[in-house]
Structure 1
Amino acid sequence: MPEWKAPAPFDDADLRRSVTAVLDGGELPPIVQAGHPVLRARALPFTGQLSATELAGLIAVMTEVMRAAPGVGLAAPQIGVPLQLAVMEDLYEVSAENAAARERHPLDFLAILNPRYTPVGTATASHYEGCLSMSGWQAVVDRAIAVELRYDDDHGTAHTRRFSGWQARIVQHETDHLAGTLYIDKAHTRSLASNAEYSANWAHPDVAYARAKLNF
């Protein structure tokens, strides 16, 4: 039996092929699901592999996919592109109780390249979250309440910005994707629930009831 070898990491040729497929596909690309290798690899940093027109086109497609899902964020690997790029936007209406419990405030559209986040302080918050690449499921994840994000914009300008509350959760979730990490890797697995069970039992502004009943 031949010796097993780990698959080679994605390279710039893979990136070019995947972007061409997305931009020339003629329709919105599907969101790849857990088990797809691109979700478990560290995405390539953006170093100018794409033209400004190609990058703008990719961001436009990702934005459309995110909004159609609907979701509040999408990382390039979620449409099969191994690039450190994510888009985020949270303009959905939520109840005042939900907004207060989750510190959820509107997040205007943002595209980030080569992001890195650092927790600000040691405080964490625990909430249910889902993922467009794990369709139909949610689980509780402990996340830093506030983070400092360093990233480049689509013009190559470096930024440092602080996020807190639900916005910080979105930032962490999407940036994790670019390192090959899914939310389930950090979740309390005893809290894992289908969307139907979550809606029936655990859809509260905080997770205290779920924590008590599910023992996590």
Structure 2
Amino acid sequence: MTFPAPSTDLTAEQIRETVDRILSAGTLPPIVQAGHPALRQKAAPFDGQITPEQLARLIELMRQVMHEAPGVGLAAPQLGIPLQLAVLEDKYDVDHEAAALRNRAPLDFLAILNPSYTPAGPDRAAFYEGCLSLNGLQAVVSRPQAVLLDFVRPDGGAERRGFSGWQARIVQHETDHLNGILYVDRAQLRSLSSNAEYAAHWAEPGIGKAREGLGFDDGPAGISVP
């Protein structure tokens, strides 16, 4: 079932004012949580609402917020900015068994504008997933194992790049944010766990134990890929 998000009602001037306010604050902005309207609206495509200098400063600020959280991705709506911009980076050391099962490889820092993705093949993978805008929760999400991502670089160039494994999951999660979609929209809700309960009962590289104990399957759920 598809639940199309409404487009943001902020004008280009209002978006610019929001960015100006955040950049001039002198502190790292908070990550907004589920219920904030920016998380449930389709963000405005980037078309020069802010200057190249402001864009560069915003990207660097988002990178700092992502690292501080810590996380492997952050979308502008998570700062209350309804603009199609996200940053991605995964350099964390993880258990070798978990990395192998999840096909998790390091992802160099990347800033993407106006992204859209399409599945690259029929294979899917289901793992626990969390979000900086839903603090303290995780749930199993089945996603395409590989995707093609079309996006615009900060320098204005268009690019298409393939991603697989955990990198593809990050790409999909952050692109979804720009379309008003949260991971719980795609999740097996019977798998929903607090971080503490996940650590106590279901923390393992795969989801087999949780699937049996909580009674869910690992097929696609929720809404369709935009």
Which residue in the other structure is 1:194 paired with?
A: 194
Name the TM-score, length of structure 2 as normaliser: 0.91
- Give the share of equivalent positions with the same residue, in percent: 59
SS for the counterpart of 2:128 is: strand
Which residue in the other structure is 2:127 paired with?
A: 127
Alpha-carbon distance between aligned partners in 2 of 1:60 and 1:79, rounded to the nearest angstrom: 13
Distance 1:153 1:107, change over 3 A: same
Which residue in the other structure is 2:170 paired with?
A: 170
- Residue 207 of structure 1 aligns with an amino acid whose one-letter code is I
Which residue in the other structure is 2:181 paired with?
A: 181
- Residue 123 of structure 2 aligns with an amino acid whose one-letter code is A
SS for the counterpart of 2:92 is: coil
Alpha-carbon distance between aligned partners in 2 of 1:173 and 1:37, rounded to the nearest angstrom: 18
Alpha-carbon distance between aligned partners in 2 of 1:93 and 1:45, rounded to the nearest angstrom: 34
Shift of 1:13: 2.4
Which residue in the other structure is 2:213 paired with?
A: 213
Which residue in the other structure is 2:223 paired with?
A: none
Deviation per CA, 1:93-129, whole angstroms, max 9, x where unpaired?
A: 0111000110000000000000000001111000001
Alpha-carbon distance between aligned partners in 1 of 2:19 and 2:59, rounded to the nearest angstrom: 11
After superposition, where does 1:45-60 map in structure 2 within 5 Å? 45-60=45-60
Gaps of 5+ in 1: 1-5
Shift of 1:14: 2.4
Deviation per CA, 1:157-184, whole angstroms, max 9, x where unpaired?
A: 0000000000000000000000000000
Alpha-carbon distance between aligned partners in 1 of 2:9 and 2:184, rounded to the nearest angstrom: 22
Alpha-carbon distance between aligned partners in 2 of 1:142 and 1:11, rounded to the nearest angstrom: 35
Alpha-carbon distance between aligned partners in 2 of 1:207 and 1:11, rounded to the nearest angstrom: 43
After superposition, where does 1:18-37 map in structure 2 within 5 Å? 18-37=18-37
Are the equivalent residues in 1 in contact too, given 2:8–2:82 (CA < 8 A)? no
Which residue in the other structure is 1:150 paired with?
A: 150
Distance 1:8 1:57, change over 3 A: closer
Which residue in the other structure is 2:222 paired with?
A: none
Are the equivalent residues in 1 in contact too, given 2:137–2:195 (CA < 8 A)? yes
Alpha-carbon distance between aligned partners in 1 of 2:66 and 2:90, rounded to the nearest angstrom: 10
**Segments ≥4 residues shifted beyond 3 Å:** none
Alpha-carbon distance between aligned partners in 2 of 1:23 and 1:81, rounded to the nearest angstrom: 12
- Residue 189 of structure 1 aligns with an amino acid whose one-letter code is L
Are the equivalent residues in 1 in contact too, given 2:128–2:207 (CA < 8 A)? yes
Which residue in the other structure is 2:3 paired with?
A: none
Which residue in the other structure is 2:66 paired with?
A: 66
SS for the counterpart of 1:205 is: coil
- Residue 104 of structure 1 aligns with an amino acid whose one-letter code is R
